[in-house]
């Protein structure tokens, strides 16, 4: 009888998508709540973009405005800019002062600390090559590409908005978010060698 490999989550998982709103947070939440937790594994999400998101929360913007469907809606507290535009502005401002990889360098210690504590880390907002390289430096890492196509639009590299910058990189898993949640979770289950995941959760 062929031996079935034991399930084991990578130590650090980076999730990239060439398009916004592709389901990265959905993947992270499901892994945490319905894969890691039942197996006694602590999985934490660390966002590289925290330093450019916290100023928006400090202004009183909501989770939906910073992370959700209202991210691309102009906001009066941002002088008419959208939250996405404001975060891009803050990222550029930081890069001019601290170097292009400043966000990755700030995230490195947080990731290393969590791994040292025996936690699994998922970073679900990978966009830049420096962030890809950050994940790759940790032992037991995996990089996942999550794609949700938009009808009539091809994937393009948009340096101004930090989108599509890793299309020529190598990924350990390519997730296609092109159908139901059941289809998405089945891909995860197959890759992680766990029983088929229940989409009703």
Local confidence pLDDT in tens for the 201 residues of the chain? 444 445 678 999 999 988 777 788 889 988 998 889 888 999 999 999 899 999 999 999 998 899 878 888 999 999 999 998 999 899 999 999 999 889 989 999 999 999 999 999 999 889 889 899 999 999 999 999 998 876 555 555 555 555 667 889 999 999 988 888 889 998 998 898 876 555 555
Question: Comparing C-alpha atoms, which of 171, 164, 169 is closest to residue 191?
Answer: 171
Contact 53, 149 (CB under 8 A): no
Question: Comparing C-alpha atoms, which of 191, 146, 144, 148 is closest to residue 172?
Answer: 144
Structure tokens at 35: 């894969």
12-192: CATH, from 3.40.50.720, 2.30.30.90, 3.40.50.300, 3.20.20.370? 3.40.50.300
Q: From the centroid of its chain, how far is CA 86?
A: 19
Q: What is the pTM of this model?
A: 0.82
With a CB cutoff of 8 Å and minimum separation 6, the contacts of 3 are none
DSSP assignment of 72-104: TS--GGGTT--HHHHHHHHHHHHHHHH-TTHHH
């Amino acid at each position: 009888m062929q031996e079935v490999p034991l399930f084991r989550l990578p130590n650090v998982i980076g999730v990239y998508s060439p398009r916004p709103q592709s389901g990265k947070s959905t993947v992270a939440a499901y892994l945490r709540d319905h894969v890691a937790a039942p197996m006694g594994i602590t999985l934490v999400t660390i966002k590289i973009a925290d330093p450019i998101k916290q100023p928006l929360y400090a202004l009183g913007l909501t989770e939906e405005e910073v992370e959700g469907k209202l991210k691309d809606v102009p906001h009066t507290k941002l002088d008419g800019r959208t939250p996405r535009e404001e975060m891009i502005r803050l990222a550029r401002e930081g890069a001019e002062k601290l170097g292009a990889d400043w966000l990755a360098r700030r995230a490195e210690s947080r990731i290393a600390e969590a791994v040292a504590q025996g936690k699994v880390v998922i970073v679900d907002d990978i966009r830049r090559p420096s962030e890809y390289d950050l994940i790759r430096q940790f032992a037991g890492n995996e990089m996942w590409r999550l794609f949700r196509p938009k009808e009539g639009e091809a994937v393009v590299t948009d340096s101004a908005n930090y989108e599509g910058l890793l299309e020529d990189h190598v990924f350990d898993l390519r997730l296609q978010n092109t159908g139901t949640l059941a289809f998405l979770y089945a891909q995860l289950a197959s890759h992680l060698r766990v029983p088929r995941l229940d989409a009703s959760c």
